[in-house]
Amino acid sequence: MKAILIKEDCIMMVKKILSALVIGFSLVGTAVAQDKPAGQVLNIAHPALSQTWSPLQGGGHAARWQSLMWAAPMYFDKAGVLQPLVLAKAEPDANFVQWTLTINPKAVFSDGSPITAEDIKGTWDLCAMPSTKHQRADLFLGGIEGFKDVTSGAKKAMSGIAVKDATTVVVTLSAPDPIFDQKIATALIPPVKISQARDANGEQKADWWHPKNKVAVSGPFMPQSMDLDQGIVTLVPNPKFFGPAPKLSKIVISSVSDASTATLMLKTGKMDAHTELITPTLIDDLGADFVSGPPLAKGQQFWFDAKKPPMDDINVRKALIMSINPVDMAKAAYPQGPYTPATQILNKVAGVDPDFQPYPYDPEGAKKALAASKYKEGRLLPKIMFVGISTPTHEAAAQYMAEQWRKVLGIQGVEMKADIETYSGPDQKSVQIFRDDVGTRVPDAVSYLMGSIHSTSGNARGKMGGYKNPKVDALLDEAKAKSVQDPARIKGAQEAQRIFREDYMFIPYYYDVMSKWSMPWVQGFDKNDDWQVIEPWNVTIDESKRAAR
């Protein structure tokens, strides 16, 4: 491996790297054209030496930039309105079980060939193949008839996807889903030229996405070169893109493994944007605008596993919750923002409950609840263990909670670690509090709660130790089959959340935002809930602001 990992104490190396960038050389010394290319060039610092840039990963650092090269079936604009792209329209039958997808007649790959129904079917079948290892295929395609047959390895094609003609795909779902069109509005399942990507056995071809293999892409930019050893990916405008012409003349994505180095490069204008940069002094270093952004339909919470003592006693859970002042926790964890304290689970989506009653901060009530528990006193509780304390912000919040429990309830034994694997022996099976996020990538309250409090969700099965409330499940199961225009859909979600509240299963923490992670001179860099640039063709650079650095 030729990559050079930059260490904070390697001062001379950092100086050499910055100097090389100034005179037009790549991050690690590979020569490039020394004259600045005509037009606008966006330089992105990428924290990992990504070895695959397949658009069918469904996650990982490289997935943040797939919308630059690959056109989504449909997409949500920055106002949250569903827009066509590869697909001109997606129409359901009366029962929301069968969907007819019509391809945009202008949709072509970068080699000029049309995007066909066979490409869409083949791509989605390939996404479901276990060897592809798509991290989120179930979120988008899981409701299609035959999806599990492919993910299990039993078959290589979903029975629910049929090619009607060259420009029409008919999708049959295993159950009604009024928001299927919203679920497929993502650049994480973009139609690819399936003849390039899939071999005769139905598996994904190695490195088919690399420009050395003459890959044909569908997005506004196409890969000019990919040096995976050095960690440099160069993109140029796709002259065949069927959408608006991109305004940037080039995008260069360079691996910068050290956060301090990346921060310095951003401050001095050598880099314009970052994949995801989180440091304790980020706002002081780069300004609040760097991490600001629109709210995400995602919140951070501390979840209780009610099967493990002492969380098996609802009065203990009540006591722990009522001991916490959410305003003070916010001040401890993120005094400069950009996050806002959470109250209910739902945020951003239509259906946030205006009548939801947040848990009260009530130290006296907390003491009474603990006294009513089987433990009676804080000193008699088993040790309380956290996981998910993986950043300074999360640690500050957890430390605040531990101190409140000590002062209000007399609890002394509290321990916190980044992940469950760092505990050993019996402790690993005894962790009772999990800090983790829940959310949805579609603007729908039912989807949000199905993925967080329904008994089939990973959050309920894992973080909450198999939580199941039949009333919650019944309300959400009934609501999810209703049209998005039916008020009963939202009403069912709100009622399910109110019932869940009475089980005292979580401590609200904060609501996420989609941070820009770009400098003020980068314009049009809005992102969606999949962390993708929404309209890459509209990104521009204010050269006067960048030059001022």
CA angle 274, 221, 142 (to 5 degrees): 80
End-to-end CA distance of the chain: 34
Residues of the chain with pLDDT under 50: 1-37
Interatomic CA distance for residues 339 and 341, integer angstroms: 7
**H or E element that contains 88:** strand 87-92
Interatomic CA distance for residues 194 and 47, integer angstroms: 30
At 84, phi and psi to the nearest 5?
-75, 155
Interatomic CA distance for residues 336 and 199, integer angstroms: 51
Written as six digits, the tokens of 288 are: 């609040």
Which runs of E-coded beta strand occur in 60-159?
A: 74-76, 82-84, 87-92, 98-103
CB-based contacts of 306, cutoff 8 Å, min separation 6: 312, 314, 317, 464, 465, 467, 503, 505
DSSP, res 173: B
Interatomic CA distance for residues 59 and 136, integer angstroms: 7
- 490-499: b or e for each residue (b if 16 or more CB lie within 10 Å)? bbbbbbbbbb
Q: Note whether 549 and 269 are within 8 A (CB).
A: yes
pLDDT recorded at residue 38: 53
Residue pointed to by tokens 């640039």: 533
pLDDT recorded at residue 8: 38
Q: Name the β-bridge partners of 541.
A: 522
Q: Which amino acid is at 314?
A: I
Torsion of CA 457, 458, 461, 462, to 10 degrees: -160
Q: Name the β-bridge partners of 161.
A: 171
What's the pTM value of the predicted model, to 2 decimals?
0.82
The answer for 29, left when phi > 0, alpha when psi is -120 to 50, beta otherwise, is left
DSSP, res 187: T
Q: Which amino acid is at 280?
A: P
Residue closest to 418 by CA, chosen among 398, 439, 441, 446: 398
Q: Which amino acid is at 177?
A: D
Q: 3-state class of 144 per DSSP?
A: strand
pLDDT recorded at residue 31: 29
Residue pointed to by tokens 């996405």: 209
The answer for 531, left when phi > 0, alpha when psi is -120 to 50, beta otherwise, is left
Written as six digits, the tokens of 441 are: 């990538």
| Whole-number Cα distances in Å, 296 to 35, 346, 440 | 40, 11, 9
Q: Note whether 438 and 448 are within 8 A (CB).
A: yes
DSSP, res 441: S
Interatomic CA distance for residues 350 and 358, integer angstroms: 18
Q: Note whether 351 and 493 are within 8 A (CB).
A: yes
pLDDT recorded at residue 393: 87
Q: Note whether 455 and 461 are within 8 A (CB).
A: yes
Interatomic CA distance for residues 438 and 393, integer angstroms: 17
pLDDT recorded at residue 424: 83
Q: Note whether 70 and 120 are within 8 A (CB).
A: no
Torsion of CA 129, 130, 135, 136, to 10 degrees: 50
The answer for 386, left when phi > 0, alpha when psi is -120 to 50, beta otherwise, is beta
**H or E element that contains 296:** strand 295-304
Interatomic CA distance for residues 224 and 198, integer angstroms: 22
Q: Which amino acid is at 236?
A: V
At 63, phi and psi to the nearest 5?
-65, -20
Residue closest to 264 by CA, chosen among 10, 476, 54, 512: 10
Positive or negative: CA dihedral 7, 9, 10, 11: positive
